[in-house]
Structure 1
């Protein structure tokens, strides 16, 4: 966020960042010695902080009897923006997480979504020789209903294609399984989606993954709750 504010990075579209000409010059001059102080000393960052301070000062000068009309649509848009920013940050966090820990997180998410069932069990397979299966969820005590999971903690440009889906399908057949879940922090090609549909494999890409984690509160926590009230007309008509 600070790199973007300072002008060292730009964001041409959601979830994508690229270095600017200024960022290239700073990188060439300082290399790995880029510090927070250096980033905060950039003119764009200083100007941003100045405008922020002016806004804070203006807000403090507003008298208590002044009111502002804020529509529900504006409130909704603001919350949508916060949610969008959160999912971007969450996705970046996931991509920098240890791969084995990431596997545990994904199994935990599926558990939270209710796939483990009331008395079921779940586990993450060993780091090596897992046979293409990263997680196993037994939905009942006897393991008669089992979901096999494969996860790929990939960068955004490392897209999952149909060969990866076919490979996962082979791993499922070795387990005599008829269904599986493939989770990635990147995305799937159209060929991968078509193959998954034919092979009864559910796909979860980076966007869906972060939305599910927010929805089921896995890896996130509620910072503040606001309640919007309205008159209960039925109460007055009783």
Structure 2
């Protein structure tokens, strides 16, 4: 409420900007977005304005504009340093409850912290994504080695390696020369990426020796680049070695692998889609 001076009317965008400066938000905080693409700090400020308006502490003299009224000035004078979460929850909850009693779903209103449904959706989305990643990793660890090698090739192809023709193949097996897959970056295969895929248990980390063998295979093939993928993790010595040697292998551990699979839709499918609608403030300008 320190943003709105007595008698001053501001557009919501101006309020957002002032609030950000007053709170000394970092550049990182200013750029943080929800899964919907909306800036997180603007989303939270929108809910602040919604709470203030619902409690009749601000007026809306015109579309998208807000002004601190007499009740708001009194409220601010009584709480010049803000309110604790507990006090704010008690104060604003009563206004939401009044509206809830006039709707068919009063049980939805519990406390102020839960009033922001978009953030709840984001949290639920992250939980579901984490669960899906854990299930993917479990399935990969239990899969046949041939299947796993083919799967990692598919991930890289979906990421755009191999061009629109998706020139990539699994070559693992006896006599594979220390590599499990290859991706051709050009039609003639002059520029190739070699892949090593290790389907390890969670407790079995990839060590330096395995990376040394892979880098040796890259040298034999004259390959300029390689990618080492595992369902487990890499030891500190393995990571250090990879950062120093040439050609430098790119390391993808289990967590990063399933994150890429989810992002590029490999081994997963859309189960449900929701559209979250909001009032278009620009329409009413």
The TM-score, its normalising length taken from structure 2, stands at 0.59
> How far apart are the structure 1 equivalents of 2:276 and 2:251?
36
Q: CA 1:141–1:120 in 2, change beyond 3 Å: closer, same or farther?
A: farther
Q: How many residues matched?
A: 175
Separation of aligned partners in 1, 2:172 and 2:206: 23
Counterpart of 1:20? none
The match for 1:158 is: 204
Post-superposition offset of 1:217? 0.6
> What's 1:65 paired with?
104
Give secondary structure in 1 for the equivalent of 2:169: strand
* 2:246 pairs with 1:204: no
> What RMSD in Å do the two structures reach over aligned CA positions?
1.6
* Structure-2 residue corresponding to 1:29: none
Report the equivalent of 1:78: 124
> How big is the shift at 1:173?
0.2
1:137 aligns with 2:176: no
CA contact (8 A) 1:120 1:140 kept: no
Query: Where in structure 1 are there 5+ consecutive unaligned residues?
Result: 1-63
The Cα shift of 1:176 comes to 0.4
- Cα distance in 1 for residues equivalent to 2:144 and 2:165: 29
- In structure 2, stretches of 5+ residues that fail to align are 1-102, 110-114
User: Alignment partner of 1:170: what SS?
Assistant: helix
Q: Is the 8 A contact 1:165 1:196 kept in 2?
A: yes
Match of 1:140, SS state, is: coil
Instruction: Give the corresponding residue for 1:148.
Output: 194
> SS of the counterpart of 1:109?
helix
Which residue pairs with 1:122 in the alignment? 168
Partners of 1:197 and 1:144 lie apart in 2 by 25
Counterpart Cα distance in 2 of 1:65 and 1:236: 28
C-alpha displacement of 1:126: 4.4
Q: Measure the CA separation in 1 of the matches of 2:174 and 2:202.
A: 25
Of the two, which has the highest radius of gyration? 2
Whole-Å separation in 2 of the counterparts to 1:127 and 1:144: 23
Hey, what's the Cα distance between the residues in 1 that align with 2:232 and 2:216? 22
Deviation at 1:236, TM superposition (A): 2.8
Question: How far 1:91 sits from its partner (Å)?
Answer: 0.5
Find 1:224's aligned residue among 272, 275, 279.
272
Q: Which residue of 1 aligns with 2:262?
A: 214
- Sort the Cα spacing of 1:113 and 1:137 in 2 relative to 1 into closer, same or farther, 3 A: same
Distance in 1 (CA, whole Å) between partners of 2:105 and 2:271 is: 28
- In the aligned structure 1, how far is the partner of 2:222 from the partner of 2:235? 26
Asked if the contact 1:147/1:180 (under 8 Å) is kept, the reply is yes
Deviations 1:8-39 (A, max 9, x none): xxxxxxxxxxxxxxxxxxxxxxxxxxxxxxxx
Alignment check: 8 A CA contact 2:226 2:249 kept: yes
